[in-house]
């Protein structure tokens, strides 16, 4: 267990997250990260291979955290209805409590700065989200159809609300819209006409 006050890599990652989301990856220089974080350029390069390495470490960590949370929902809830609802609720909450994390995770073009990285929708969290939908079809909760179509229609509305919120187009707390969004999303693909 290290002393958190001097955890240099974490300090760098925190600052990088802020700058990458506020200014964009390419508008942020390593000197910017050094200046804002208070860590020298040399130290940054000591802990990370290069600038891309900083972004990659950040991206990997955020995806892992998210995957852990989604896996927990799979164990915690039985039905796809509950699992998917928990996912959307959690993402709405995260958007409000930590918009930078959400923005970096699902609103940046990673392939432009992370070589050989797959698009977000190929990442583990998105795979887990599709697994839940597949489960819903197997259990007869969700109408049988192409998995990608069902997933897009179930999560698409919520994801657009999130990006709109991050863009500042939606002004109120996302949680106020959760119930309405969920009703529409579930109605789109559920078997019973409610």
Partner DNA sequence: GTCTATACGACGATAGAC
Partner DNA sequence: GTCTATCGTCGTATAGAC
Query: Which of DNA, its own copies, none binds 149 (CB below 5-8 Å, type-dependent)?
Result: its own copies
Residue placing its CB nearer to DNA in the complex, 47 or 135: 47
What gap in Å lies between CA 29 and CA 108, rounded to an integer? 17
DSSP 142: B
Torsion over CA: 177, 181, 184, 190 (sign): negative
**Is residue 113 a contact point for DNA (CB under 7 A)?**
no
Paired tokens of 126: 């998105």
Q: Which residues bind its own copies (CB under 8 A)?
A: 23-24, 26-27, 107-109, 111-113, 119, 121-122, 145-146, 148-161, 163-164, 167-170, 177, 180-181, 184-185, 187-189, 193-194
Nearer to its own copies, 80 or 189 (CB): 189
Nearer to DNA, 50 or 138 (CB): 50
Name residue 190's beta-bridge partners. Answer: 142
Question: Residues 23-62: x/- map of binding to DNA (CB under 7 A)?
Answer: -----xxxx------xxxxxx-xxx--xxx----------
How many residues are present in the chain?
194
> Which tokens sit at 81?
């209805």
Specify whether the backbone of 145 is left (phi greater than 0), alpha (psi in -120 to 50) or beta. Answer: beta
Question: Contact residues for DNA (CB under 7 A)?
Answer: 6, 8, 28-31, 38-43, 45-47, 50-52
């Amino acid at each position: 267990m290290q002393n958190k006050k001097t955890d240099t890599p974490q300090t760098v990652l925190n600052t990088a997250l802020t700058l990458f989301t506020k200014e964009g990856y390419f508008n942020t220089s390593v000197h910017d990260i050094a200046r804002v974080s208070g860590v020298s350029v040399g130290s940054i390069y000591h802990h990370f291979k290069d600038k891309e390495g900083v972004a990659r470490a950040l991206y990997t960590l955020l995806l892992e955290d998210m995957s852990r949370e989604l896996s927990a929902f799979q164990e915690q809830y039985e039905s796809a209805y509950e699992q998917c609802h928990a996912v959307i609720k959690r993402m709405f909450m995260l958007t409000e409590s930590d918009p930078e994390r959400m923005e970096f995770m699902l609103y940046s073009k990673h392939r432009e700065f992370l070589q050989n990285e797959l698009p977000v929708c190929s990442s583990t969290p998105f795979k887990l989200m599709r697994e839940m939908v597949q489960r819903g079809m197997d259990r007869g909760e969700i109408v049988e159809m192409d998995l990608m179509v069902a997933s897009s229609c179930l999560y698409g509305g919520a994801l657009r609300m999130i990006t709109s919120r991050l863009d500042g187009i939606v002004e109120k707390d996302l949680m106020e819209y959760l119930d309405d969004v969920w009703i529409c999303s579930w109605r789109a693909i559920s078997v019973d006409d409610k």
